[in-house]
Chain A
Amino acid sequence: MHVQHLSSSLRHIIHIDADAFFASVEQGFVPLLRKNPVIVGGTENQRGVVHTASYDARKKGVRTGMPLKQAKKLVPDATFLKGNFEHYKAVSTVLQNIYYQYTPLVELTSLDDAYLDLTGTLSLHEKSLVEISREIQKQVAAAVNMTVSCGIGTTKLLARLASGQNKPNGITYVRSGTELEFLHPLPVEELPGIGRMAKEKLHQIGVFTIGDLRSVPRMVLMQHFGMNGKKFWELANSIDGREVKQRILPKQISRETGFEEDVSDLDLVFEVLHYLTERLGKKLREQGLTGQTVSVKVDYSDHKRYVKARSLAEATDCTDVIFRLVSQLVDETPFRRLRVRRVGLTVSKIDRKDWQGELFTEQSRREALESTIDEIRQRFGFTAVLPASLVNLQKHYRMEKSGYVLHAPALTQ
């Protein structure tokens, strides 16, 4: 503990979280939208869930993940939008450029939040951390018409938890020496890694706040949660040595989509998974990444979910290799006598592609083919070249140059 406090007091980290990002971006682009609550996730008659709601909609009870129809009942005068990934990407780039004015050590964790490590650069600015945060907020408001909340702390955990305390447009500073005092009353599920299952388990043993968690011996937590227990104990005691890294590899890349109506046509389910594999393979190659573990997810009409995952012998960025594994996983999926609501796939164990492939093998021929397809798609649009089996999807989805317009395009890139 003593050593941790010595080292953590030397770090100055700001976590910046854009407030109701998707909704704020839309309101910033079209100021007329500010007159009514905005809900992003789909049109009001569409099935699907709320992805982001503006704060005035949240005040009326709308939450992320709530069915759109329920949100419509709560806020009948809301404007419902499908969302546009290009809008969010553009605004995210503007935000990043602002952050880099203050430090080169910026870790972009998603489109709408980032960590800034000012440990080495603070003295250059001749301003306090709070002043810098305020300046960033002003710059963001001027550039993109939206607000961000800032959390300042000596670790990433503290900065992240702090940014959520005073939303929207707030600044929360957890000063060195007050870390435990700050953490103590917060609900235990605020800690990273504590999901629904872990939260229930902790509640069963009488742990509701981070303060409660601190009082549980580390060994007891390890008995319940294995190595995660050790991590929980350390975080509850404000021990967090994670550094702000300039560019991190994503842990996983996912593509998923829901159906406008639940479907029983398994050929359609398979074709959509094939299409998602094509998108995912393109993304891997664009980013110069490979993945090794593939998982397929099927959500049924009774809201139960089936997930099956398997690892490849070697990491790959080859759509064909990934799709063969996806096909195997789908073949092994015990399709129930229920309709399917949603499908998705995820590639994990992501790494950089920094190895030389073998020459004159089937694999190298595949790679050459995919590289050519990527080039054609770059020039003429994604749908310029598609596997023949995917042409049938035109019966169900509108085809644009950039791809099929799937359900909830904000989420399906």
Chain B
Amino acid sequence: MSYEEIDEPIAVITFFEQGKLHPLRFRWKGQVYRIKKVNGFWSVQDGLSRKYHFSVSANAPDCFELTFDTADFNWQLARVYLEG
């Protein structure tokens, strides 16, 4: 397994429920990825704002790490984990 740091803005369809956010789909480089499973989430305080990280499996063999920044309400694709 290897990974690549991407750090690119992405568009994400998100579902908010009971104070939690669930990313459902994201678009990166024109392709839409449907999130099959959120494998884990964690958050990091970054000064005044908090960044929420989601490790997800999508309709691809690879895993992705998405981040949601509460400072500007933007999503980013932080990393792509690749097989091999």
Among B45, B46, B48, B63, which residue has its beta carbon within 8 angstroms of that of A32? B63
A25: interface (CB < 8 Å): yes
Cα–Cα, bound, A89→B53 (Å): 13
Among B41, B47, B83, which residue has its beta carbon within 8 angstroms of that of A90? B41
CB-CB under 8 A from A91, the residues of chain B are 40, 42
Cα–Cα, bound, A152→B53 (Å): 35
Cα–Cα, bound, A303→B52 (Å): 40
Q: Which one of A197-205, A287-295, A379-387 contacts B? A: A379-387
CB-CB under 8 A from B82, the residues of chain A are 32
Q: What are the interface flags for B45-62 relative to A under an 8 Å C-beta threshold, 1 for contact and 0 otherwise?
A: 111100001010100001
Cβ of B16 to closest chain A Cβ, rounded Å: 19
Cβ of A160 to closest chain B Cβ, rounded Å: 27
Interface residue count on the A side (C-beta < 8 Å): 25
CB-CB under 8 A from B47, the residues of chain A are 379-381, 384, 401
A35: interface (CB < 8 Å): yes
Among B41, B45, B55, which residue has its beta carbon within 8 angstroms of that of A30? B55
B81: interface (CB < 8 Å): yes
> Contact between B55 and A381 (Cβ–Cβ < 8 Å)?
no
> Contact between B48 and A379 (Cβ–Cβ < 8 Å)?
yes
CB-CB under 8 A from A365, the residues of chain B are none
Cβ of A37 to closest chain B Cβ, rounded Å: 12
Cβ of B48 to closest chain A Cβ, rounded Å: 5
Between A and B, 27 residue pairs with Cβ closer than 8 Å are A25-B40, A29-B39, A29-B55, A30-B1, A30-B39, A30-B81, A31-B39, A32-B82, A32-B83, A35-B83, A36-B1, A79-B1, A86-B43, A86-B44, A87-B40, A87-B42, A89-B42, A90-B41, A145-B39, A145-B40, A378-B45, A378-B48, A379-B47, A379-B48, A381-B47, A402-B45, A402-B46
Name A residues whose Cβ lies closer than 8 Å to a Cβ of B.
25, 28-33, 35-36, 79, 84, 86-87, 89-91, 144-145, 378-381, 384, 401-402
Question: 9 closest Cβ contacts across the A-B interface?
Answer: A90-B42, A29-B40, A29-B55, A380-B47, A32-B1, A381-B47, A86-B42, A379-B48, A30-B63
- Using A32-B81, A402-B45 as known contacts, list a sample of 10 further A-B pairs with CB atoms less than 8 Å apart, ordered by residue number in A: A28-B39, A30-B39, A30-B81, A32-B62, A89-B42, A90-B40, A90-B42, A91-B40, A144-B40, A145-B39
